[in-house]
Amino acid sequence: MAQVVPAEGGMRRVIGDGEAQPDGEVEGLTEQDLLELYRAMVLLRTYDERSVVFHRQGRIGTYAIFWGHEAMQAGSFHALERDDWIFPSYRESAIGLLRGMPVETVLAWWRGHPAGWWDPRKYGVASIAVPIATHVPHAVGYGWGMKLRGERACAIAYFGDGATSEGAFHEGANFAAVMGAPVILFCNNNGWAISTPVEAQTRAATLADKAAGYGMPGVRVDGGDVLAVYDATREAVARARAGDGPTLVEAVTYRCAPHATADDPSAYIDQERVEAERANECLGRYERYLRRLGLLEDDLVESVAAEAKEALRTGIAAVEALPDPDPDLVARNAYAE
């Protein structure tokens, strides 16, 4: 039952480099899908870059940067259906935008304004999990609960490489396998948990290898390749819907940005490696791929970028126009009665 893609040479990839590595393709994706993925990545990238600026301008608080994670988020998201629930960590704070959540809601969250809380049922997006890995069992419980009710919905939990050291990850993964829960455990392995490299997190050759211990399939995919991420997640979703239980997806990338606006990685990171990785970042890779396919030209690039910038411009204006929160809220909402 359990399959583990070998650590060496086993990383899935679709997008080539236009030279030695040929492009692949993912069956079933239409041109419209491919452009939708592009729009999603640009929206996330724009959200992230503008948020760093907003933070510097004092318009939002400390912000967890996800620059370079857009392919992992948009690619995996595209494999979901509307009824599937998303359990984000703070690194996926803006993933709700892909479900129609207003930009100002996410900005309000980072601004510390109660308008940044939402009803998870409205978007099928759980609250942003600030503690590490403790939301993994929530996704498992949700998927399990829907299965018990005879529904076909599944759940995806996003977490980082550091989270795989937490007990909550282990308990969640084990419960998922034992209960046959329709869940995708999506690990965005960007190589760093603040200053701790993944080599100091585990002696496992890959994080996907951990799946074998739970008796579930584990796959490893190039996290900078939006199509490979989509493809691997789509397989995991299909497995979940077929009643074959959870999958651990390890998407591998390299963190090219600080952990958060409060972090200065110069003390611990190899800046040359960062520069090399930035040159091959996921949005640029995908854009070049689409250009090679003839699906993307300058005017579309410009209009998609303009649309995303406008969304952020109106979003920050909306959040700044919010009335000050009601001070009475400090004592409300902990209890229903």
Partner 1 sequence: MPSKTLVEAVNDALNVEMERDAAVMVMGEDVGRAGGVFRATAGLLDRFGPDRCVDTPLAEAGILGTAVGLAMAGWRPVCEMQYESFSYPCLDQLICHVGRYRWRTNGAMEFPITIRMPTGGGVKAPELHEDSPEAYYVHTPGIKVAIPSTPSDAKGLLAAAIRSPDPVVLMEPKVLYRSPREDVPDGEHLVPLGKARVVREGDDVTLIAYGGMVAVAEEAARELEASAEVIDVRTLKPLDEDTLLASVAKTGRAVIVQEAPRVAGFGAEIAALLAEKAILDLRGPVLRVTGYDAPFPFWSIEDEHIPSPARVLEAAMKLLSF
Q: Is 203 among the residues known to form the active site?
A: no
Q: What is the CA radius of gyration of the chain?
A: 19
Q: How many residues bind partner 1 (CB under 8 A)?
A: 40
Q: How far is the CB of 174 from partner 1 (least distance, A)?
A: 6
Is residue 155 at the binding interface for partner 1, with CB under 8 A as the rule?
A: yes
With a CB cutoff of 8 Å and minimum separation 6, the contacts of 111 are 59, 60, 61, 319
Sheet holding 247-252, edge to edge: 85-87, 155-160, 183-189, 247-252, 218-222
Instruction: Give the x-and-dash track for 77-106 against partner 1 (CB under 8 A).
Output: --------x---------------------
Q: Is 259 among the residues known to form the active site?
A: yes
Is residue 5 at the binding interface for partner 1, with CB under 8 A as the rule?
A: no
Catalytic residue among 259, 285, 286, 289: 259
Q: Of the two residues 121 and 203, which places its CB atom closer to partner 1 in the complex?
A: 121
Please provide the size of the chain in residues: 337
Q: Of the two residues 68 and 162, which places its CB atom closer to partner 1 in the complex?
A: 162
In single-letter form, the type of residue at position 227 comes to L
Q: Is 170 among the residues known to form the active site?
A: no
Q: How far is the CB of 149 from partner 1 (least distance, A)?
A: 7
Is residue 117 at the binding interface for partner 1, with CB under 8 A as the rule?
A: yes
Q: How far is the CB of 134 from partner 1 (least distance, A)?
A: 5
Is residue 142 at the binding interface for partner 1, with CB under 8 A as the rule?
A: yes
Q: How far is the CB of 64 from partner 1 (least distance, A)?
A: 17
Question: Which of 13, 49, 101, 174 touches partner 1 by CB under 8 A?
Answer: 174
Question: Which of 45, 50, 135, 220 touches partner 1 by CB under 8 A?
Answer: 135
Question: How far does Cα 144 stand from its chain's mean position?
Answer: 21
Question: Which of 127, 165, 196, 202 touches partner 1 by CB under 8 A?
Answer: 127
Q: By CB under 8 A, which span of 59-67, 147-155, 236-244, 305-313 interacts with partner 1? A: 147-155
Catalytic residue among 268, 273, 292, 313: 268
Catalytic residue among 69, 113, 255, 285: 255
Q: How far is the CB of 148 from partner 1 (least distance, A)?
A: 5
Q: How far is the CB of 128 from partner 1 (least distance, A)?
A: 9
Is residue 243 at the binding interface for partner 1, with CB under 8 A as the rule?
A: no
Residues known to be catalytic: 255, 259, 268
* Residues near partner 1, by CB under 8 A: 85, 114, 117-121, 126-127, 131, 134-146, 148-149, 155, 167-168, 171-172, 174-175, 178-179, 332-337
